[in-house]
Chains A and B, each alone.
Chain A
Amino acid sequence: MTPPPVSGRLLRRGLVVVRSEVRLHPRPFAVAVFGALVYALATIASSAVIGRVVDRVITPRFEAGHVASGAVVAGVLAIIGVGLVKASGIVCRRIMANITQARVQATIREEIVERYLHLPMSYFQTHPTGELIAHAGADVEAATMVLAPLPWSTGVLVLLVVAAGWLLATDVFLAAIGLVLLPSLLLLNIVFQRKMEEPATRAQDRLGVVSGVAYESIDGALVVKALGAEDSEARRFAHAARDLRDAKIDFARLSATFDALLNSLPSIGIVAILVIGAWRVERGAVTPGTLVAFASLLNLLAWPLRLVGWVLGDLPRTIAGFDRVKAVLDQAVLDQAVPEERADGSAGVGSAGEEPHGHAIEVSGVSFSYEDGTAVLTDVSFFVERGTVAALVGPTGCGKSTLLQVVAGLLDGVDGDVRTELPVALAFQEPFVFADTVEGNVALGHDLPAGVYDEAVSVAQAAEFIDRLPDGLGSVIGERGATLSGGQRQRLALARALARRPRVLLLDDATSSVDPATEADILSGLASAHSGMTVLMVATRPSTIALADRVLYMESGRVVAAGTHAELLASSAGYADVVRAYEEAREGMALDLEAS
């Protein structure tokens, strides 16, 4: 029955976690522990009161035939009074423990969000979104789980010590029963939690398998049906369901045994107390009331004892959750290159402050690799003349988007020299729309000078659809609001970029979902409204390429050719291939546009 050797380390780790969390909000926690102490002492008192009532009220009434009404009143008042104190202790403990938990969660979440706002882009590219959201959601919950029952279990431990003291002070023989029973119940609880862990984890894992199979199979129902694989899929699912069933039955068998033990042991203890107690009453060592008081105490202790087991059971999950949260908080923040606040609210730039020598964009010898060593950009050099439009063309995965992000200064660990005129604004192909108003999505928390907003929206050809939204600029969009089409989102993102009044505008295939006519209007509008603005854009549509003054052609992380469209068609076979592939791919688009 000795717990495995890891328990010491588990407890120490748990203690570290609890200490660092409680330190965030020590006051409500201290009050909660106080409430638990009140509860513990009131529990002992309530048993003592029952004993007194037996000796002073019930026994006289039933043996002597009468009892002073004062004693009855005193007894009833004591029962009710102690009960109310005990209830207040519980209320106090629960409310304050809950507040502690809520506040610690909130504080940790604030820290995580702050961290997310400052971590380098590469962090987001190497971690799945769901996982990052879970760190602030489920992981924080797990990490603080133990805070709720912790004050109570502190109270329970005090309860045990005081109860043991009372038993010892009253009668050594009765105390012996308590001293054997209580620790063994505690131990049994701990062993119980340990033993349950394996089948519980197994059931959890197998539930994951069942969900995985169900999700995949129903998601891919078309394929399953098209290939007539319903039966084999049903067999696969049935297998997973049976495994889960077996794990759950194992868990139930074990917990049924432990529950039966944990329920009956205190009763056996009470029987023992009554037998030994009767003998002690015979000897005149204790009164029948004390006997009843001890029986009642054991009855009251049985349940709270389970709590200590729960705390220990929660500990591994709390530690795991805390570790995941801690991993985020310990991430180094590397993006001092992107200053958070800038007076004009413009984008940050990699080599901020370094003015280009003559052109609007100057990139020389730039290389960039992912953390795993995969090279994305290799020795890229090019320039874009002020006031011109340059198109970036290349096959899928050649590094076009990465190059734009480098120019915009969004990436860390870039080798080489990047200089641009400021401010720079980058519009994304799949722009993120925040759950906010249209205006909020364009301003992104900055105060825009008068007129800038209207101009940006009109150049982006977004005014018309915004006016049609139920509340115009004030319409909430994003997850909880109106849904925008891909083209509308892109135009909104373009307005967002233009509202920064950039001198250099970077478009990452930012008009791919806008129809060609509107796209042409946008690009000609750019030229007239922002003379002198330089545009560098990723283009995958022949009509878009046609609007550029100059084309940069990329292949596997390098700019391999530059010139006008006609020059490149003649000089670069790869370029001609890619443009042809674009043409082919766009035909489908032409068909689909007809319907829209």
Chain B
Amino acid sequence: MSNDRADAVTPAERESQLSVLRRGWRSSPDLREGARLTLALALAGGAGRVVVPVLVQQILDRGVVSGAVRMHVVVGLAAAATVIITLTALASRATRTRLAIAGERYLAALRTDAFRHIHRLSLATQTEERRGELVARVTSDVETLSQFLSWGGMSWLVNGAVMLAVVCVMAAYDARLALVAVTVVLPMAGVLRLVQKYMSRAYDEVRARNGELLTAVSETVMGAAVVRAYAAHQALRTRSSAAIAGQRRAFIRAGTIGALLFPSGEVFSVLTISAVVVGGVWLGPASGLSAGELVAFVFLVGLFLEPVAEFTEIMDQTQMAVAGWRRVLDVLDTPVELPDPAPDVAVTLPHDAPEIVVEHVSFAYTGAETTRVLHDVDVTIRAGRRVALVGATGSGKTTLAKLLTRLADPTEGRILVGGVDLRDVDPRSLRSTLVMVPQEGFLFDTTIAQNVRFGRPGAGDAEVLAAFDDLGLGPWVDGLAAGIDTPVGERGEHLSVGERQLVALARAHLAGPSCLILDEATSAVDPATEVRLSRAIESLTSGRTTIAIAHRLSTAERADEVLVMDHGRLVERGPHDALVSAGGVYSRLHARWLSATAAIGS
């Protein structure tokens, strides 16, 4: 993922990094609350760290004078230092706790807001890949921020304060020596930045090689049957070894660069100390410098350089955190394509099976004319009718179903349910009136009962069982190991495709809609389940206005009416028999159906 790369940030983007920070800061009252006090505490905690060098200086200059030790001075200084050290510790503890509490509160709220917003976005534009990215927004991106808060953010604050305090103390002791120290240290920033660039690149390489390594290993696992059936061991061994060796080399390279970066602080530190000692000795006591101050410099240089190496790592982390923050904020700023109606216009639909009117509806996914997938569809479905929607893949039947359930809004035209424009229907009323049973029968990783209860939260076990009984599925449920308490596994994978659809049907039934949109499953199911499915659908659709996307001849045959879609247009409509004899698109589809099923002439 190139957008995760820190060094891929262009100057233009860097410019906007500041604006991301501003945007995030403004949108987060949790973060802003008490931030001043936190900052003050951080400064105090950082500044307190110079107490040891200062104490060394004081004791050498005031406690030990020409070989004579004034113990009362030493003890007094030590007591003061101990108090300051304790206060410093308390201040940095408070800083860290406050930062974590404010930060984590903000992040939990940010996560939840982003999650809520994601569910508000139209599904029309959500591909599987896009969904994966959205999951990353509320998990890994927020996590990057959290890690930054607990380490990087703290480090910026405290180390910044330490470095500032050190420079101040140095300057107070002797401005000339302070200048010497800073001058010798300065080039280090450049060196670190350079090495760090190499290091980021080296770690990119490690990540890439890691990917190849995992691919190679996954081949030996996923291709296990092929390997054994074709004795392909040697080919795979060679490839895996190459991938393993490639990863090893990249890992060693990156580690070596890191190893060179790390002690550069040490080298700069001894150079600076040497320069300060030479400078201090050259200046001598006549300049007003004392021995204690010169010794204190040695400690101060160490204190000053300690965070520098850390900064180079934090730079990376900071850029990643800002990039993550931007991505999460962008999700929140994505406009909702399907705005809810204003409360004063929102209409609640009646419970009777509604009439559905599709009025000159066109639809394009991106709004561009070339991506138009529905052209001027105009049809009225009378209340309580069962309609089958047929057509080849890409004819627009799934898109029409999405518009009917308002998973997207028409680009042109409108859809009326019970005389009301879908856009004006109260969302709660919409979801309880119109329920879609999607093709894949997605289930949540819990029990069958919990999944069915999704249709009507708060429904008791008896109601869940009744839903199955109504659809003639009681015997099937009884046959399961734990009945309705049987866990279905991730995405429902402990159940077969057909069984997942059964649960989805019960779920839709419990929701008690007056209008159903069914997307028939295309996958093959075993004959017994097939029979159960068609019976359950029969019961489910009775008394409800139903639009079924039909993939089977039998579904189309049973419908009151068949709507035939072709290249985004509604080309034919009527009862099955009439359409077959009409000699149009449907009769051709029908002939093809027949020839496919009659291949063995039975």
Contacts and interface: CB of A to CB of B under 8 A. Distances in A.
Q: How large is the interface on B (under 10, 10 to 19, 20 to 34, 35 or more residues)?
A: 35 or more
Interface string B222-259: 11111111111111111111001101100110011011
Contacts of A119: 224
B198 interface: no
Interface in A413-457: 425-426, 428, 431-432, 434-436, 440, 443-446
Contact of A62 (B284, B428, B507): B284
Contact of B240 (A76, A113, A242, A279): A113
Interface in A196-220: 207, 210-212, 214-220
A116 B217 contact: yes
B247 A106 contact: yes
A234 B274 CA distance: 61
B338 to A, nearest CB: 10
A445 B85 contact: no
A263 interface: yes
A274 B74 contact: yes
Interface in B514-532: 520, 522-527, 530
Given A58-B281, A218-B134, A267-B85, A445 B232 contact: yes
A339 interface: yes
A227 B454 contact: yes
Nearest to B56: A295
Given A91-B259, A348-B231, A83 B511 contact: no
Contact of B267 (A83, A397, A440, A583): A83
Interface stretch (B96-104, B181-189, B376-384, B413-421): B96-104
A137 B551 contact: no
Given A62-B294, A110-B244, A579-B602, A253 B100 contact: yes
Mostly, the B contact residues are helix
Interface stretch (B11-19, B349-357, B468-476, B592-600): B592-600
A464 interface: no
A410 B393 CA distance: 38
B352 to A, nearest CB: 19
Interface string B516-555: 0000101111110010000000000000000000011110
A271 B81 contact: yes
Contacts of A237: 111-112, 115-116, 138
A102 B394 CA distance: 51
Interface in A108-157: 109-110, 112-114, 116-119, 121, 124, 129, 132-133, 136-137
A580 B120 CA distance: 43
Interface string B290-301: 110011001100
B566 to A, nearest CB: 10
Interface string B75-117: 1001001100110111011111101110011011001100110
Contacts of A226: 405, 407, 431, 435-438
Interface stretch (B58-66, B164-172, B361-369, B479-487): B58-66
A480 B100 contact: no
Interface string A265-307: 0011011101100110110000010001001100100000000
Contact of A591 (B118, B218, B593): B593
B40 interface: no
Nearest to A42: B266
Nearest to B390: A591
Nearest to B101: A249
A431 B82 contact: no
A591 B455 CA distance: 32
Contacts of B258: 94, 98
A248 B491 CA distance: 29
A540 B526 CA distance: 12
Q: How large is the interface on A (under 10, 10 to 19, 20 to 34, 35 or more residues)?
A: 35 or more
A133 B86 contact: no
B228 A133 contact: no
A2 interface: no
Contacts of B221: 116, 124, 129, 132-133
B181 to A, nearest CB: 14
B215 A432 contact: no
B231 A275 contact: no
A408 interface: yes
Contact of A588 (B247, B271, B394, B551): B551
A565 B277 CA distance: 100
B219 interface: yes
A586 B96 contact: no
Mostly, the A contact residues are helix
A341 to B, nearest CB: 7
B589 interface: yes
A75 B270 CA distance: 11
Contacts of B97: 252-253, 256
Contact of A275 (B74, B213, B241, B551): B74
A584 interface: yes
A79 B552 contact: no
A121 B228 contact: yes
B269 A83 contact: yes
Interface string B127-150: 000010011001100010010001
Contacts of B527: 395, 577-578, 580-581
Contact of B219 (A233, A281, A405, A434): A434
A85 B14 CA distance: 39
A112 B240 CA distance: 10
B341 interface: no
B96 A95 contact: no
A86 interface: yes
A430 to B, nearest CB: 10
A516 to B, nearest CB: 7
B359 interface: no
A257 B442 contact: no
A271 to B, nearest CB: 5
A245 interface: yes
Interface string B402-442: 00010100000000000000000001101110011110001
Nearest to B61: A62
A259 B92 CA distance: 9
A260 interface: yes
B24 interface: no
B100 A252 contact: yes
Contacts of B51: 267
Contacts of A335: 228
B312 interface: no
Contacts of A260: 89-90, 92-93, 96
A67 interface: yes
Interface string B543-573: 0000000011110000000000000000000
B244 A444 contact: no
A227 B507 contact: yes
B252 A225 contact: no
Interface in B25-46: none
A245 B123 contact: no
A117 B526 contact: no
A384 interface: no
Given A50-B298, A83-B266, A91-B259, A445 B213 contact: no
Contact of B60 (A234, A288, A445): A288
Nearest to B119: A230
A138 to B, nearest CB: 9
B280 interface: yes
A586 B599 CA distance: 11
A332 interface: no
Contact of B431 (A228, A500, A588): A228
A98 B259 contact: yes
A292 B107 contact: no
A98 B244 contact: no
A102 to B, nearest CB: 4
Given A118-B233, A223-B438, A256-B100, 5 more contacts: A87-B267, A121-B228, A129-B221, A223-B442, A543-B600
7 contacts: A136-B213, A136-B214, A234-B112, A256-B95, A341-B234, A569-B602, A579-B600
3 closest A-B pairs by beta carbon, nearest first, are: A228-B431, A445-B235, A83-B270
